[in-house]
Amino acid sequence: MDGTPTTTSPVTRSTDHFDGTRFFNPHAPHGRTLAEVRRWRRTRQKQPWPEHVEDPVLPPPSRAAYDRISATFIGHSTFLLQVGGVRVLTDPIWSERCSPVSFAGPRRVRRPGQSLDALPGVDLVLVTHNHYDHMDLPTLRQIRKHWTPRVATGLRNARHLAKANIRSAVEFDWWQSVELAGARVTYVPAQHFSSRGLHDSDRCLWGGFVVEAGGAVVYFAGDSGYCPYFAEIGRRFPRIDLALLPIGAYEPRWFMRRNHVDPAEAVRAHLDLGARRTLGMHFGTFQLTDEAIDAPVLGLREARDRAGVAEADFDVLAFGETREYAAVGQAGC
């Protein structure tokens, strides 16, 4: 449906993903329990990560032509996308830690692939949900000082963004579409959860985004477990030129399965979506779960081979790398 931009939280009635107080996943309505969290902490077998990975310095992105799709991988779930001339930043985090405090919490092992100053501008920021590795207020404050872009997010997240002096964020419910910053933006479902503290679980909505501009269509998934929504997004958007899907933060499976795809499930999601091309994300930056730092990329290669998916169709970028693609109907990349 079409919606009107709002900075308030209009959801006041129960829906298929809101019970009047909290949001929930229709395909996995029972979220994590405290007992499960305690079991994971007690039994986890965390693989060692290096303290630091030094990546090559790559050229900064330039303005992409109107008829090209450009993706620059900053790290974790942060990309600079250029679609139909609109510069879009996804779940931006340049901070050293993804945490409510600067002195504790998961620390990045890789520096951001490009600095904020290296970007050719930002017109639109997408914030999929309120976890600290996706909604980083210190970074959002810096972005606002640089460019004052429009900001899109899920229901009830604007109050958090206001703490970064972002007071005109547009809140979306699932399947709501709004014309924003020269693009048509649709907030689409994901199977995940939300919280920023001990007592606010699932009070804010989570999801992904589809951005349409210049005749091109890009899907940014945010975080999600494997669920029927990928196929439904593919049906509603039958031509996705580029998808960005998470491939990391998935072990142990008994605990993470409901909320995070593993590489094999990411390949299934790619096929469900019918995307022309997909790029992996949400790996190799912050150690959030138990798998080794290189496990997501190695797992993606194995899953891709098993499914008969070509490397060119589902790949990962180097940190800081920019890759351009032709819009639909044009040959090459």
**What share of the chain in percent tops pLDDT 70?**
95
For residues 129 and 223, the answer to whether their CB atoms sit within 8 Å is: yes
Angle between helices 263-273 and 295-307 (to 10 degrees): 50
Instruction: Supply the pLDDT for residue 11.
Output: 60
Higher-scoring residue by pLDDT: 152, 11: 152
Provide the strand spans (E) within 18-162. Answer: 68-75, 78-83, 86-90, 124-127, 150-154
Give the tokens for residue 7: 């900075």
Q: For residue 7, is pLDDT > 90?
A: no
pLDDT at residue 36 is higher than 90 = no
User: Is the peptide bond prior to 252 cis by the omega test (within 30 degrees of 0)?
Assistant: yes
Beta-carbon-side half-sphere exposure of residue 136 (alpha carbons within 13 Å): 23
Residue 332's pLDDT band (cuts 50, 70, 90): very low
pLDDT at 4 over 70: no
Give me the CATH topology for the region 60-326: Metallo-beta-lactamase; Chain A (3.60.15)
The 10s digit of each residue's pLDDT in 115-151 is 999 999 999 999 999 999 999 999 999 999 999 999 9
- pLDDT tens readout for residues 53-103: 999 999 999 999 999 999 999 999 999 999 999 999 999 999 999 999 989
User: Whole-prediction pTM value?
Assistant: 0.94
What the block records as the tokens of 189 is: 């479902």
- pLDDT for position 211: 98
For residue 6, pLDDT over 60 is answered with no
Comparing CA positions, the residue from 206, 207, 186 lying closest to residue 194 is: 206
Check pLDDT > 90 for residue 34. no
pLDDT of residue 333: 44
Instruction: List, for residues 209-220, the tens digit of each pLDDT value.
Output: 999 999 999 999
10 band by pLDDT with thresholds 50, 70 and 90: low
Confidence of residue 30 (pLDDT cuts 50, 70, 90): confident
Name the pairing type of β-strands 277-281 and 86-90: unpaired
Mean pLDDT of the region 42-55? 95
Beta bridge partners of 186: 177, 210
* Mean pLDDT across the chain: 93
Residue-wise over 259-280: b if at least 16 C-beta within 10 A, else e? bbbbbbbbbbbbbbbbbbbbbb
Q: For the chain, give every domain's residue range.
A: 60-326
Q: In angstroms, rounded to a whole number, what is the distance separating the alpha carbons of residues 229 and 243?
A: 14
